[in-house]
Structure 1
Amino acid sequence: PGSVIASLLENEPRFKEGGFQSIIGEVRVFILAGFETTAHALAFAFGMMAEHQELAEKLHQVSTQALKKGPLKLALENSTYVKNFFMEAVRMFPLAPLLGGECTGDIVLNHKGNAYKLPKGTQVQFFNLALQRHEDHVGGMLGPDDVEPERWDAEPAKQPFLHTFNTGAHSCPGKPLSVLEGHIFLLMVAERFRFEFPEGTTKVEGSQEMLLRPKDAMPLRVFRR
């Protein structure tokens, strides 16, 4: 009683219906959620701050003003730009560059007048890194490879497509926690520190293995403001 598992079984519709067995089916998600996603997105976000000094300065100004307004709840409400910057890091550098699944029944996909049948048992791979940088799915005014926090100001239906946390029946129940953690941590860091690349590093890059990690562990020079 009182545990995260108990809370999910009591309050999350899909777990209320599926019971404890449905929790077992999401063990992989629980292991990664709120830790790997947040930590890696923040590492990329700090690198993005080093690469885009003008955006980092705006982050600093927004964070400083928001934290002057009082309690953390108010600071979060007044720092949407900071949250949006974190979401850009999640979009551009998804921890899981590829997710997969298996069709539990026959599926027919219709696209531009053509029908494609995926029989039951077909293994399907979703290339998140490509999907989240496709020009048709990112919204905003700039290109898919540009950092534009404002693109997340759009209404939910017009925000960038995001598959980092999966979607549908297996969407990550830890997403709200991960986003909240990222928002709070970036808010605090942007107000207190600035970043620069060391000599030899000029841009943010990822190293794609099973997970997408910052290349060379994201080397940065850190300066207290």
Structure 2
Amino acid sequence: MSAPDLPPKPQARADRVSLWRYMRLFRQDILSAQPARLYRAWMAEFRTPFFRSYLINQPALVDEVLKARPMDFPKSDRVGEGLRPLLGASVFLTNGAEWQRQRRIIDPAFEGGRLRDTFPAMWAAGEAAVARISPGLREVEADMSHAAADVIFRTLFTLPIEDKIATEVFHQFRAYQRTQPILNAAAFLPLPKWMPRGHRAKTRTTAKAIRALITHLTQARMDQIQAGTAPDDLATKIITTHDPETGKGFSTQEMVDQVAIFFLAGHETSASALGWALYLLARDPSWQDRLAEEAEAVLTDSPDFAVMGKLRLAREIFREALRLYPPVPMMVRETTCPERFRDRDLSKGSQIVISPWHLHRHERLWDNPDGFDPARWVTENGKTCLREAFIPFSTGTRVCTGAGFAMVEGPLLLAMLMRKWRFATIPDRVPVPVAYLTVRAKDGIWLEVSGR
């Protein structure tokens, strides 16, 4: 029997990885720097002269860190240092009481009822994405970035992507994500606070430009709220929500920080997942045709939130894309006191790496871990792993606020696209996944598009 035709993933290294190899690779592709044994290990230790890092794949340990005791394992600044020029003190980077305050203000905007309210804007962005596609050779990762940005601007600021400022933010973000790796020098070296953090000049310049544009949008919305003319969208909801404990809302600067992470989390991650989902479907015409049939049977000609309960196959396919290509491949936490994991003593300040990339493909957890199989989610193994080993949005108290939003947006846009278009792979253009801010294709995802 021939070997199964599996979707591409970076070639793991068979040997141990030294600090210096990481230092050479962190600006390129951190995924291929990992040794192959991590796809089977429950726990692995990585030593540097300055700190100890432990990757954990055992579901019970992941639950201990993310669910049972999240406040004992705050987010590590070793990752935050690389993102701070863009994200400031956003909810993605803060810890403790400050993070709790931010979530108390943000979470109400993403409650279930609000998803129904934002659905027409999401639908309009989907229709626009379908209309922008045309037959021929296309780089669909760019198309999905455009579509995901449109969703964010329509739902957050009631602006289509064609708006001048929205377009400029989108293009600046595209430039930013290709210059900013997940980790920078501060992730590996004990740099004092006064020392430069190793950000590229273009990264700093682009981050500054993005924040200036977001500041303009935020201040304009605050003026509209004062005048009583603001639309009832996510930005208005967040700006007008006050912390129930302090009675205070976000300042303009704080709101800029939050909008930056909404755009990063809601645009970058969705674009990554949608691009890979299209590629996976292009590789497997049978699943693609089944999704097209479901879309034709379920979708109406106007936005109806009830269709989301009927797009079951679209949801399973999108979930499988999130499993194989989790947009955020690694999360880093830090110990605040000595710990003992799997008979190993971890000192205070140790780095705990939780890698959806490895957990989602773990050979001791998943059946056919590297295969594309949307049907796995109805099997016993799939149901178990969905509960215990599937964390594309993290889990526990720090689960992504927009997880529910993403699980509406992704399946909806996939269904709308498949209803109109057929996608096929190009033999000499196999995308290679690499970790920028999110898991993207090194040279884009090129597909042949034709009408149905």
Please indicate, yes or no, whether the TM-score normalized by the shorter chain is above 0.5. Answer: yes
Q: Distance in 1 between matches of 2:304 and 2:314?
A: 13
Q: Distance in 1 between matches of 2:288 and 2:384?
A: 25
Q: Partner letter of residue 36 of structure 1? A: E
Aligned to 2:284: 52
CA apart distance, 1:167: 2.1
- 1:57-97 deviation per Cα after TM superposition (whole angstroms, max 9, x unaligned): 11111111112598633322112110110011111011122
- Please give the TM-score of this superposition, normalised by the length of structure 2: 0.41
Show the counterpart of 1:118. Answer: 346
1:33 aligned counterpart, secondary structure: helix
Q: Secondary structure at the match of 2:446?
A: coil
2:433 corresponding residue in structure 1:
206
The amino acid of 2:336's aligned partner reads T
The aligned amino acid for 1:174 is G
Pairing of 1:1-225 with structure 2 (within 5 A) = 2-4=236-238, 9=243, 27=258, 29-67=261-299, 72-110=304-342, 115-138=343-366, 142-153=367-378, 158-160=384-386, 161-201=389-429, 203=430, 205-225=432-452
Distance verdict in 2 for CA 1:34–1:137, change over 3 Å: farther
Gaps of 5+ in 2: 1-224, 226-235
Alpha-carbon distance change, 79 to 20 in structure 1, aligned in 2, over 3 angstroms: same
Note if contact 2:431-2:443 (Cα within 8 Å) is conserved in structure 1.
no
Per the TM alignment, residue 133 of structure 1 is displaced from its structure 2 partner at its CA by 0.5
- Which structure has the highest strand share of the two? 1
**Quick one: distance in 2 between partners of 1:20 and 1:123?**
33
Q: CA deviation at 1:3?
A: 1.8
Cα pair distance change 1:33/1:154, threshold 3 Å: farther
CA distance in 2: counterparts of 1:38 and 1:8, whole angstroms = 28
Shift of 1:132: 0.7
Task: Give the match's secondary structure for 1:216.
Answer: coil
Question: CA 1:108/1:33 → structure 2, altered by over 3 Å: closer, same or farther?
Answer: same
Pair 1:44–1:104, CA change in 2 (3 A) = same
Residue identity in the other structure for 2:372: V
> Which residue identity lines up with residue 83 of structure 1 in the other structure?
R
Secondary structure at the counterpart of residue 392 of structure 2: coil
1:34/1:181 contact within 8 Å kept: no
- 1:169–1:74: structure 2 CA closer, same or farther, 3 Å change rule? closer
Q: Taking structure 1 as reference, are residues 65 and 6 closer, same or farther at Cα in structure 2, changes over 3 Å only?
A: same
Shift in CA distance, 70/211, structure 1 to aligned 2, threshold 3 Å: closer
Letter in 2 for 1:42: L
| Cα pair 1:153 1:159 within 8 Å, conserved | no
Distance 1:108 1:175, change over 3 A: same
Distance in 2, Cα, partners of 1:159 & 1:172: 19
Q: What residue identity is the alignment partner of 1:217?
A: G
- How far, CA to CA, are the matches of 1:118 and 1:38 in structure 2? 35
1:52, CA displacement in angstroms?
Answer: 0.8
State how far apart, in whole Å, the 1-side matches of 2:396 and 2:345 are: 20
Shift of 1:49: 1.1
* TM score, norm. by length of structure 1: 0.78
1:32 & 1:135 partners in 2: Cα distance? 31
Contact residue 240 and residue 249 of structure 2 kept, 8 A: no
Q: Distance in 2 between matches of 1:154 and 1:77?
A: 20
2:325 partner amino acid: F
Contact 2:268 2:438 in 1 (8 A): no
Aligned length: 208
Letter in 2 for 1:147: F
Secondary structure at the residue paired with 1:47? helix
Higher-Rg structure is 2
Asked whether the 8 Å contact 1:102–1:121 carries over to 2, the reply is yes
Per-residue deviation at 1:174? 1.1
- Distance in 1 of aligned mates of 2:304 and 2:378: 21
The 2-side partners of 1:8 and 1:176 are apart by 22
